[in-house]
Structures are given as C-alpha cells and as structure tokens.
Chains A and B, each alone.
Chain A
C-alpha cells in the first residue's frame, strides 16, 4: 500500500485532516445513545425470534439509501456471515425494480411497499421499515399495512423518529439520534447487524420462544 501513504504537507491539507477527524468525532454520541437502547434491541430480537420460530419471514423495505440497507438486511439473514448460524428467511422489497417502478408509475411511490406486502407477506412475518428521518411516506404506509396484516413491525429510524415514532405505528422502534442522515445510516447498519446476531441467541434456546414466555 505504498501509494496510500501520502503525506499531507500543505496548510490546506492540514485543515482537511482536522476536518476529517472532527467528522469521525461526530459519530460518537449517537453510538452511545444507541447503546442506551440496548433493552429495546433485546426485546425486538426476542419477538423476531418468536416469529421466525413460527415460520415467519423478515420483509425489509426503505427508499433511497435505505433501499440498500433493506437488501443488506435480507442477505444478512439468508446467507449468514458466521458459519454454523442457520439461514433465516428474509426478503427485500427494494430489489424488484420492475414491480417497484411499475407500481410507482401507476399509483405513486407511497403505496409500493403496501402492494408488495399484501401479496408477499403473511401474518407471522416481520416487517422492518428503514427511514433516516422516520417520515418516508412509503415506509410509513408499508408499516401501517404490515400492522393491519398482523405482522410484527419494527422501525429503524433516525433524528426524532418522525411520523413513524409519533404515530406509534410499530411494535419496536430503534431511533438513531443524529441530525446527519449519513450518521443515521451508520447506526442503522450497526442496529441490523446486532439484530441479526442476537436473534440467534433466542433461536438457539427454543424454550424462550413459546408465546407464553414474557420478560
């Protein structure tokens, strides 16, 4: 990696270095805040494990940058990075470009996920809606449809949680408290990595997955 070790000699470069370091620093408080939501993470993992145990699947959705997170979540569960972890069923609603653009062109973007959920989801399933500000109309509508269907609903949102938080539309809400949508995204990546890994802790102990077992 010889070429990578490029010295930064000029004052401008020095300022840029300081700016880069400051940008890293912006990430710290939001992570600590996320750690403070650990009990909510544990509760969400438990309910997710119960749904998987009953044969449910995870259905993830989001728009823009969050659409890539939905795909990441799906591959995380379907193709576990840790050998020995069982594959769990998960799909992303953002990968079928024909349906997404088809529904959007015909009846608007807001109802895209609702349409897919009505035909692809079952009551035992888990809906995971991802939105940086919690105000994405398509994600909000999708979570409402999921709730009507009887799915477990989880919101990964940022900022103050937006309409997803204020409307109390989800069973489990994890809020990445940052004003910067990119910092929000980084926290959401951590959140779904942790959800994936720790679901397995419950899943490997079926005794805690009976409907009557509550904390």
Chain B
C-alpha cells in the first residue's frame, strides 16, 4: 500500500486513479476497466494484444511522471533550495533529522534516513533517525494508546529544538503525521512535509515550515515525485554544507 488514508482509498474505489490516468492518454474517458481494456471482456485470449496494451500503459505512466516532475520542479525548486539551507543550519547546530510516514511512505522515511546517515562516497554523513523502523515502539504505542500518536510520542521523546522533522504522506491527511507536526512545532523543530493531491490537511497546517506537494491523483506518481524531491533536497543540503555533490557513480553503458 502506499496510501495512508482510508478515505482517500475509498475515493479511488471505482475507476482507480491509476487506471484513470491510462484513459487520459487516449482510451475511453469513463475510466472503467471495460472501457480501458475492452479485450478483457471480449471472451478472447489474445496475449499479443494484452502485452501490447501493457507496453503502451507503461509508456503512458513514464510520460505521466515526466510531466509531474516538471510541475514539481517549477513549484518547488526554489523552496527546496531554501529548505536545504535551513536544514544545513540545523545540522551545523548539532540537529538531527527525524523522518516518518505510513505504509509505503514509511519505507520512504527509512530511505531518507539512510540517505542522510550513510550516503556513501565522499558525501557527508548526517545524523538521522527513522521513526518508522522499530516494531517494538510502533506496536507498543499503537496497542496501548493508538496509531495516531506513534510519531508524536517519539518526537516528544527524541526531538530537540535543533532537529528537523520530515513527514511523508500521499494524502496529506494522516492523523499521526498531523499530530507529529504539531508536537515538532511546539518543540521548535524545523518541520518539513511531503504530500500529494492538493496537500490534504497538511496544506492547512500552521505547524509546517515547508510543504512540498506532488499534485497528482495517482498515489504511485505522487510517491515517485516525492522520492525525487527528497533526493534533491538531500543533494542541495550537502551543497549547502559546502560538500560538493558527490556520489559513487554507477557505471553505465558508453
């Protein structure tokens, strides 16, 4: 999964967001499975047609993410650079990055943390903790109090005024993120949010210093654009710390 919000999930029940995207590229507009994949309902088994449609759909999804990244670039490049400056100042002051999210966004939080903590090559390792990686803590809080507090309680336990709280959500509505930002803001952390759609409830918060929205209705494309945004945020942060952008290049075909 990847979605972190039940209401949002229910919203895509008929004519899923993903399939709707396919229809944009030329298929029938109603987004139903039958209109998008008519051969599925023709009673025939035409494997070549199925493979061809899957191929076309793959190309269409690649075009979607290209377009979404351009939108995100235009909306967020300057703010990503400013955010990286603020984060660099926090790291210089001894701060740490605390990252959190639910479902697929929990894996993004873990990725973000290992990117900062163990970047490889000549990049500068920076202190970072994932609040989504310890099943003992997560299940204890969920079982004893409720899932809404799993990140806020950890921020109360670990967060200091020099730290940086980064929360990732596709819907922007996850209650445990909203509560975490509230706790982080009260404690003076720099607060950074990633959301999709139109930002959801995260767009209404006054507890967020930076909000980066991937404006798409596809949970998948949202996550892909968010991954790009936080990878670029990391690279800008390294640059802001005076560390030239370094990575151990992966060999490519010449």
Contacts and interface: CB of A to CB of B under 8 A. Distances in A.
A19 B236 contact: yes
B252 A182 contact: no
A182 B18 contact: no
Contacts of B69: 24, 27-28, 31
Contacts of A46: 47, 50-51, 54
A20 B233 CA distance: 8
B104 A75 contact: yes
A160 B251 contact: yes
A162 B58 contact: no
Contacts of B40: 201, 204-205
Interface string B60-88: 01110110011011000111111011000
B79 A72 contact: no
Given A2-B206, A13-B85, 19 more contacts: A6-B79, A21-B77, A23-B235, A24-B77, A38-B56, A46-B47, A46-B54, A67-B110, A68-B108, A76-B104, A80-B1, A81-B3, A84-B13, A133-B250, A177-B253, A184-B250, A190-B62, A197-B61, A208-B45
Given A1-B208, A180-B249, A41 B79 contact: no
B228 interface: yes
B16 interface: yes
A11 interface: no
A189 B12 contact: no
Given A32-B66, A38-B58, A189-B223, A16 B84 contact: yes
Interface residues of A, number: 77
Contacts of B228: 24, 27, 186
Contact of A202 (B50, B66, B118, B234): B50
Interface of B: 1-3, 9-10, 12-13, 16-19, 33, 37, 40, 44-45, 47-48, 50-59, 61-63, 65-66, 69-70, 72-73, 77-82, 84-85, 103-104, 106-108, 110-111, 114-115, 118, 120, 199, 203, 205-206, 208-212, 219-220, 223-224, 227-228, 231-232, 234-236, 239-240, 247-253
A214 B51 CA distance: 10
B66 A198 contact: no
Main secondary structure on chain A at its contact with chain B? helix
B115 A82 contact: no
A145 interface: no
Contacts of A185: 111, 227, 231
A4 interface: yes
A4 B194 CA distance: 12
Contact of A17 (B56, B77, B210): B77
Contacts of A23: 232, 235-236
7 contacts: A16-B81, A20-B77, A25-B73, A178-B252, A193-B220, A201-B54, A213-B47
